[in-house]
Structure 1
Amino acid sequence: MADPVLELEVLKRFVKPSKRARCAGFASAERTRDRLLIELRNPGIFDERYVHEVAPSERSPERLVQMFKESGMGGRVYVISSNATWDGKKFQMSWFVEEFLARGFDTLAYCWKSKTAFYEQHHSGFTYFLAR
């Protein structure tokens, strides 16, 4: 089951102000959750002030884990994903980074400790680091 507190925190921190209420509405009900996932497929939904693209040469699991740890991420992450097995669950960050790179799903993983996130857009092959 999704964690509405963490999801609203993610939306408030990283989604463009003009899109927050719409996304929060989708996140608030299980029947509209698919709409939230569709909205998050477009990286343009994020406030560009907080988006940092990870270069393709830096996208190995080992390098991503190192970069995320250097930024303060660590421990567990909360996941919003088009993969129903992962969506709304918490995972160990280092394990999850390797897992999501190998699977190809649109996925956002939020570290509530550091208030940062990473986002993998499967269609483009881009990884974004989100931090305020």
Structure 2
Amino acid sequence: MKRAHKVNHGWQRPSDPIPESYQHELDRTAAKAETRWRQAQKAVERAQQAQQRAEQQARKKTTPQTIAARDEARRSVFQRLSELRQIEELMRTSTYSPTTAVHRTGRQDRLEVGTYRKPKKNRRAA
């Protein structure tokens, strides 16, 4: 059976106009939210600046504990680097025997190792 009409699925009911009092309330709430957001952004920036100032002051202060910790860290780094260099040196040294040259000596059906010698001539008896 064929339908005689088409349903318009894109149609929506038109919205009612917003009353002035409600629009005024929405605007006031949005303005408050923006103000709070700006205040939060400023607080974040102040906290970041305070953190940077604290880090700079910590870098400037050199106490015996920080000097000892820095020296210990440097010592351990140099020790690890020397271990790494030793391992690299061990990896470079050859632990394998030198390779021997393999020559084919005339006959293709077998492989002989050694120096090349001329094959013997076959003498046929007459």
TM-score in terms of structure 2 length: 0.14
* Larger proportion of strand: 1
* Larger proportion of helix: 2
TM-score in terms of structure 1 length: 0.13
Greater RCO, 1 or 2 (C-alpha within 8 Å, sep 6+)? 1
